[in-house]
């Protein structure tokens, strides 16, 4: 009788061990075979680690880490994914800009933008890693005539071809469309530097990016501290790493548009930047206007400038004329100094 009892007692822990092993196997199968459009590879890895007891999250962070990938109709853009693969550097970094018909017209902003790489200080090679996003068919055709990596990003039911009045509905739609592509780029595993097409490039702007930061953003007005969120952000130049955190930030940023319906993406970012810091521990670097210059806080010291942005100017003609003047100043500086 004692022998039988002891045998039964030994069977009980073995029973729980078998049940536990079956449960763990089932969880791992779910992790591995979940549909790809429901989780990114990064999240798949993290979720499986948590299932095996090798990682823990708070209830709040678990909620924030749910459903981080883009919807299927956005994530299945094979054409853009192919361009990313072709244009990326060896360390999976790309440069992205966008244009519509007005900005891509002959002898207009796109031409001036591309020329700036040739006029700059040994930065022509960056064109090999530039993707130009065309918002309409005419801009796409112009891009194809001057550059190898062009992507047509037409928005159904929206005409984005003409110059858009600042803060008009079409303008808002145009600027928000780029944030969707930023999120997609990160989910494909690429870091990006987005540059507005009305930014002139003189030197390598990557040299001003501190890689401790999750994101690096230009400033309209810079107050002296690169980590100070009181700096006025300008999303005409944005660098982001392909991390899960940044993917979640992009999604949260896009969803915040519904809370601020009249605002473009830059103003919404300015309204939620402290939320992003508290929810995601987002580390943001703002670059001094000494290096990423503009017309809001103009500091045209060509010994320091890497880029110059036509922000705080209204109208395509005004932007073009003023940037043309800055370009001529740069050429004069280079001819006098020979080396910058």
pLDDT digits (tens, 9 = 90+) for 23-82: 545 444 444 344 333 333 333 233 332 333 333 344 544 444 433 444 444 444 789 999
Distance CA 289, CA 222 (A): 6
Instruction: Note whether 19 and 113 are same-domain residues.
Output: no
pLDDT at 263: 85
* Domains of the chain: total: 2
pLDDT at 205: 98
Q: Tell which of 64, 99, 115 closes a domain.
A: 64
Instruction: Note whether 57 and 187 are same-domain residues.
Output: no
Instruction: Note whether 54 and 166 are same-domain residues.
Output: no
Instruction: Note whether 47 and 155 are same-domain residues.
Output: no
Structural domain containing residue 30? 2-64
Q: Length of the chain, please?
A: 340
Instruction: Note whether 213 and 186 are same-domain residues.
Output: yes
Q: Tell which of 30, 47, 64 closes a domain.
A: 64
Longest Cα pair distance anywhere in the chain, in angstroms?
A: 104
Q: Is the pTM of this model over 0.85?
A: no
Contact criterion met (CB below 8 Å) for 74 and 81: no
pLDDT at 20: 53
pLDDT digits (tens, 9 = 90+) for 195-225: 999 999 999 999 999 989 999 999 999 999 9
Distance CA 173, CA 157 (A): 11
Instruction: Note whether 12 and 90 are same-domain residues.
Output: no
Instruction: Note whether 116 and 243 are same-domain residues.
Output: yes
For the chain, 340 residues long, the average pLDDT of each consecutive 10-residue run is 45 48 47 37 32 39 42 61 97 96 93 98 98 94 97 69 48 78 96 98 97 96 96 96 97 94 89 97 97 94 97 94 97 82
Q: Tell which of 48, 64, 80 closes a domain.
A: 64
Helix/strand/coil percentages in the chain, nearest 5: 50, 15, 35
Instruction: Note whether 45 and 98 are same-domain residues.
Output: no
Instruction: Note whether 169 and 234 are same-domain residues.
Output: yes
For 206-238, the three-class secondary structure string (H helix, E strand, C coil) is HHHCCCCCCEEEEEEECCCCCCCCCCEEEEEEE
CATH number for 97: 3.90.550.10
Instruction: Note whether 191 and 105 are same-domain residues.
Output: yes
Instruction: Note whether 24 and 139 are same-domain residues.
Output: no
Instruction: Note whether 136 and 285 are same-domain residues.
Output: yes
């Amino acid at each position: 009788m004692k022998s039988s009892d002891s045998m039964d007692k030994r069977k009980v822990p073995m029973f729980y061990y078998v049940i536990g092993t079956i449960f763990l196997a089932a969880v791992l199968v779910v992790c591995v075979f979940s549909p790809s459009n429901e989780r990114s590879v990064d999240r798949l890895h993290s979720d499986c680690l948590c299932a095996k007891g090798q990682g823990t999250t708070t209830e709040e962070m678990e909620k924030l880490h749910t459903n981080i990938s883009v919807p299927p109709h956005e994530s299945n853009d094979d054409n853009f994914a192919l361009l990313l693969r072709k244009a990326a550097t060896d360390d999976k970094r790309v440069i992205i800009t966008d244009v519509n018909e007005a900005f891509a017209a002959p002898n207009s902003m796109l031409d001036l933008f591309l020329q700036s790489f040739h006029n700059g200080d040994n930065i022509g090679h960056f064109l090999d890693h530039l993707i130009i996003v065309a918002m309409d068919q005419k801009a796409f055709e112009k891009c194809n005539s001057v550059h190898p990596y062009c992507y047509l990003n037409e928005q159904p039911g929206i005409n984005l071809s003409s110059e858009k009045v600042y803060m008009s509905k079409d303008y808002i739609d145009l600027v928000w469309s780029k944030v969707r592509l930023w999120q997609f780029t990160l989910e494909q595993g690429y870091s990006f530097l987005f540059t507005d097409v009305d930014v002139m490039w003189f030197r390598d702007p990557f040299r001003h990016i501190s890689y401790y930061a999750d994101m690096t953003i230009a400033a309209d007005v810079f107050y002296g501290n690169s980590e100070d969120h009181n700096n006025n952000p300008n999303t005409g130049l944005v660098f982001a790493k392909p991390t899960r955190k940044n993917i979640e930030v992009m999604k949260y940023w896009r969803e915040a548009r519904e809370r601020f319906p009249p605002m473009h993406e830059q103003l919404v970012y300015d309204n939620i930047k402290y939320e992003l810091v508290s929810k995601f521990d987002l580390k943001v670097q703002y670059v001094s206007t000494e290096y990423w210059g503009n017309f809001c806080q103009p500091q045209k010291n060509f010994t320091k400038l890497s880029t110059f942005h036509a922000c705080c100017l209204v109208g395509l003609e005004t932007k073009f004329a003023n940037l043309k003047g800055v370009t001529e100043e740069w050429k004069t500086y280079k001819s006098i100094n020979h080396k910058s």
